[in-house]
Amino acid sequence: MTPSSAAMTDAADQHTVDLAVEGMTCASCVARVERAARKVAGVSGAAVNLASERARISGSGFDTAAVIAAIGKAGYAAHEVVDSEAAADAEEARRAAEGRRDLRHVILAALLTAPLIGNMALQMAGARLALPGWAELALATPVQLWLGARFYRAGWAALRAGAGNMDLLVALGTTAAYGLSLVLLAQGWAGGQGGSPLYFDSAATVITLILFGKWLEARARRQTGAALAALAALRPTTARLRDADGSERDVPIGQVRRGDLVAVRPGERIPVDGVIEAGESSVDLSMLTGESLPVARGPGGQVPG
């Protein structure tokens, strides 16, 4: 069997680098990272995956540090992916810790926002009992300035890069509601009057709901990453090459080149994409086509690795 494709390029001309990118929240972030990477001299291609938070940079003679710096100027943190089990475990532990922290923030924001929503509902129902302005301020301030600080940081980074993102919109919208409420509350205190409608509940509710949505999104990304990692773990790490003299030797998959003959015995997993040169067998194509039963393949048939 000869490989029909190989996920590598001539090291003398081109190379590929995988980067982990932090801070992306939407499709516009993906496009911004790709544009920033492509502006670096020597970069010919940049493909960014939001779900896995990875960027694959390809080109000839580019400086990886320059690519990371360009992505940093665009408002995102990036570092080169180290292909090792220890690095993968550390990355998984970091994401799990972030997930636990985000869940704590969501719960705390919900606890602080619940009285504000209840107060709003009572006012709409015409109840005379209502939270005083200072109590609304005390409940909304931690949500706005502490739990919502991530939106200010991400929005400021985007603003410095000359662009906008969802975090900037959240920061501007909630700050407007919070700031207006502060002004109305101060005017009421200065004039010895009260009763002006405040909007602390609106700002806190928006932040709480978006924090919850971000937590759900991050959890889905972690689950997707775990599923992909489990799938990748099933892939063979070595291939059995057959030399011109008929001898066979095991080599890492990364050393397989176009035109090499790869021997695959019955029951073994096919290590690389290829075309069958000799022999017949049934191949499991369920991952690509959804076919539940193995499909017969013979000489000239293409098989996926």
The structural domains of the chain, with segments of one domain joined by +, span: 15-81, 87-233, 238-303
- The pLDDT, as a whole number, for residue 203 is 96
**pLDDT of the residue at 288:** 76
pLDDT computed for residue 266 by the predictor:
82
pLDDT value at residue 124 = 81
Q: Distance between CA 83 and CA 139 in Å, rounded?
A: 46
Fold observed for domain 238-303? 2.70.150
| Residue 226 pLDDT level (bands cut at 50, 70, 90) | confident
Looking at domain 15-81, its CATH architecture is: 2-Layer Sandwich (3.30)
Give 27's contacts (C-beta < 8 A, 6+ positions apart): 50
pLDDT for 243: 84
Mean pLDDT computed over every residue of the chain? 84
pLDDT digits (tens, 9 = 90+) for 171-193: 999 999 999 999 999 988 887 66
Residues 6+ apart with CB under 8 A from 209: none
Could you give the angle at the alpha carbon of 179 between the alpha carbons of 174 and 181, nearest 5°? 100
pLDDT, mean of residues 162-170:
86
**pTM score above 0.75:** no
pLDDT at 143: 96
Determine the average pLDDT of the residues in 114-142: 87
Percent pLDDT > 90 in the chain is: 32
Instruction: Answer with the residue of higher pLDDT: 247 or 148.
Output: 148
**Amino acid 287: pLDDT:** 73
* pLDDT value of residue 10: 44
Q: CA 104, CA 263: separation in Å to the nearest integer? A: 53
pLDDT, tens digit, for every residue of 34-87? 999 999 999 998 999 887 788 999 998 889 999 999 998 888 889 888 766 676
Mean pLDDT of 260-278: 85
Question: Band of the pLDDT at 8, cuts 50, 70, 90?
Answer: very low
Cα–chain-centroid distance for residue 14? 26
Tell me the mean pLDDT in the region 206-219. Answer: 94
Same fold, 15-81 and 238-303: no
**Which region among 40-49, 88-97, 241-250 has the lowest average model confidence (pLDDT)?**
88-97
Within the chain, strands assigned E span 2-3, 15-22, 43-49, 54-59, 77-80, 238-242, 248-252, 274-275, 281-283, 295-297, 302-303
